[in-house]
Amino acid sequence: MKYNLALAGNPNCGKTTLFNILTGSKQHVGNWPGVTVDKKEGVWRKHSDFNLLDLPGTYSLSPYSEEEKIARDYIVKEKPDCVIDIVESPNLERNLYLTLQILETGVPTVIALNMSDELEQRGETIDSNYIEKEFGVKVVKISARNNHGIDDLYKAVKETIDKGITPKKLPLFEKLKNLDDEQIANARYEKITSVVKHCYKKNKEVQNTETKSSKIDRILTNKVLGLPIFAVVMYLLFQISLGENLFFVGIPGLGIIFAGWVETIWEILTNFVASGLVNAAPWAQGLVIDGIFGGIGAVLGFMPLVLVLYMLLSILEDSGYMARVAFVLDRIFRKFGLSGKSFIPLLMGFGCGVPAIMATRTLDEEKDRHITTIITAFMPCGAKLPIIALFVSILFSPDQAANITFLIYAIALCVAILVSLVLNKVWYKGAVSNFLMELPQYRWPTPISVLQHSLEKIKGFARKAGTIILASTILIWFLTNFNVNSFNGVNQATNENSSVMSEMDDSFMASVGKVISPIFNPLGFSGWRPTVGIITGWIAKENVVATFAQVYDDDISEEYLSNYFNESSASKDELIEAGFEDGIYDSEVAREIYDGILAEGGDHNALPTVRRDIPTKSSGFAYIMFNLLCMPCFAAVGSMHRELKTWRKTLGGVGVQMLTAYIVALIIRLVGLLFGF
């Protein structure tokens, strides 16, 4: 027979840690119907007859927030076979408020006094027998982090269910029926104070002694030092997970190292498959290698970065530090209609938009989650840097590059702030974010907990973002390589290799670009090629540069490359330094080397034909900002849908991003026309 157990408790009481220990990998993360709160279910791995449900962390069952409504409705209406109420022992008095409300429902309950080991280290104890007698339910001391007391917890739950043990009907419960809300709260706290007075034995020697957490907080939450310390911590986090030059000593970060391993393995596998398709039709080779393997490879390339980033963030979260950061930043972000917690996803957006958007789930208010999800896409992530580098190098002189790049970042940040203000006023009618956060004790994170949290998040990334980016890659490959004549025999008859594929200029994508391009004429750039660059950038922003290299291929002829590398006059050492093995010039190798130079913005005379389609500095600046602020890559859109939950809200968010990008680009273009640049 299967039994349903519910885990309830305050935020930061160790409830999710206990859930992860009990279920291991036998858990599923879904959503409660109609709301944005995660629903975590699992099976007690050592006792498969017990199904476990991790209720949202809440301080009470008063039906005000989504979390409180969910917890209350499940306990009262679904009536689980037993509720395991996790109580944080060092904060017994505050935690017992929720305990009393659960006991009032009459549902069989077991109280788990978590973090009991911390109390013992301080020389303090809780008389669990007294609580058992007072409330009429089983009380067990546990330490979820150290996996202590789990067997005793099972025995208590089993006995409660087998014997049908229900909470004692306290006289208080009858008394509450005739009181108003304020009187009810006071009556409950009177009962809690009485219970704590009799069961909680404090150590008088340490009672008035400042805790280690308080001492650390004097530094980390200091008005002057708090922000600089946080900046250093975030810098180290990004260096370790995303940095290619760790601490400026030439060593790549862990995320880059792992990503390199994955990419190498995937490249070997791709080449192996490609060798088996040598005699296949060109379209079949393109579909398998460029479409399927290219799409999956893009997802796999992201995953090591995301995994390392989330492991480091989990360490910071489990240690209690992230709660302090939100506290420090709340005073600033409240002015823009958000809470301090919103800064974490925005900062992560400078590295990669996908994990940044996923990080919004840590925000408490639905308003904050939705607004931050939308504006996080405005951050100049690493994938957008090639766009900035390319166009800044083409359109501006080298001595202007640093100032223009700084201006781009500043505009992106300002736009994000302004959009958050507008959304808060228009979409949420000026709703104010309630910022209530307990600062938990600092604790050493456990490796198991960090790994489980990270894998849980990476699975969602692979499932949602992976599916979307794979499908979109195949679609874009098809649109850029086929046209109507691919299906009526014309291409097969005219192509030298009898391929049904078309030239890019005649492809479906070119046709789409020609139809859409008039929309962008007011922004100062025309022609189908820049338009196609925007579209392919929705797969991955790096594709904008790659697309320009393809659609402006005539600008990168063998003659141009030969002149660029000074083939006729360059010495052997100069060619070796440029990247040619043994100092011998090779046209194919020259193209590969030049593509890298182009992506880094190293050729200030590159792509002269671009200046025909993007003729002025203001139009080029408008093109950069439109690409930075418009809809992010499909992987990020997939993550947006995961966080916003519905396609209506997701498409609404994308609409906000597209409209914002167009307005900003139009303003830049008009200012350029006004001042003649």
Instruction: Write the single-letter amino acid at 178.
Output: N
Confidence of residue 32 (pLDDT cuts 50, 70, 90): very low
| Alpha-carbon dihedral sign for residues 491, 495, 500, 505 | negative
Q: How far is CA 41 from CA 50, 85, 630, in A?
A: 11, 16, 37
Reported as half-sphere exposure (CB side, CA atoms, 13 A), residue 267 has a value of 7
Poorest-pLDDT segment among 27-41, 273-287, 437-451: 27-41
Can you list the alpha helix ranges (DSSP code H) found in 482-586?
Answer: 490-494, 508-516, 528-536, 543-551, 558-564, 572-578
Judge whether residue 667 has pLDDT over 60.
Answer: yes
What domains are defined for the chain?
3-207 (3.40.50.300), 210-319+444-481 (no CATH)
Question: Is 459 exposed, middle or buried (CB count within 10 Å of its CB: 0-12, 13-18, 19+)?
Answer: exposed
Report whether 389 contacts 600 (CB < 8 A): yes
Reported as half-sphere exposure (CB side, CA atoms, 13 A), residue 500 has a value of 16
Tokens coding 576: 């070796």
Report whether 486 contacts 328 (CB < 8 A): no
**pLDDT value, residue 319:** 82
Can you list the alpha helix ranges (DSSP code H) found in 320-446?
Answer: 321-333, 343-348, 353-358, 366-376, 385-395, 401-426
Judge whether residue 35 has pLDDT over 50.
Answer: no
- Beta-ladder partners of 27: 42
Instruction: Write the DSSP assignment of 80-123 as a string of letters.
Output: -SEEEEEEEGGGHHHHHHHHHHHHHTT--EEEEEETHHHHHHTT
As a whole-number percent, the residues of the chain with pLDDT over 90 amount to: 13
- Give the CA-trace dihedral at 39, 43, 44, 50, to 10 degrees: 100
Averaged over 384-397, what is the pLDDT?
Answer: 75
Confidence of residue 411 (pLDDT cuts 50, 70, 90): confident
123-179, pLDDT tens digit by residue?
788 898 999 999 999 999 998 888 889 999 999 999 999 999 999 888 887 777 777
Report for 195-199, 287-291, 323-327, 427-431: range of highest mean pLDDT: 195-199
DSSP 65: S
DSSP 290: I
Confidence of residue 30 (pLDDT cuts 50, 70, 90): very low
Give the separation between CA 327 and CA 343, rounded to whole angstroms.
11
* More confident: 87 or 312: 87
**pLDDT value, residue 209:** 57
Q: Does pTM surpass 0.85?
A: no
272-302, pLDDT tens digit by residue?
888 888 777 777 777 777 667 766 665 666 6
Tokens coding 575: 């060619």
Give the separation between CA 472 and CA 466, rounded to whole angstroms.
10
**pLDDT value, residue 398:** 62
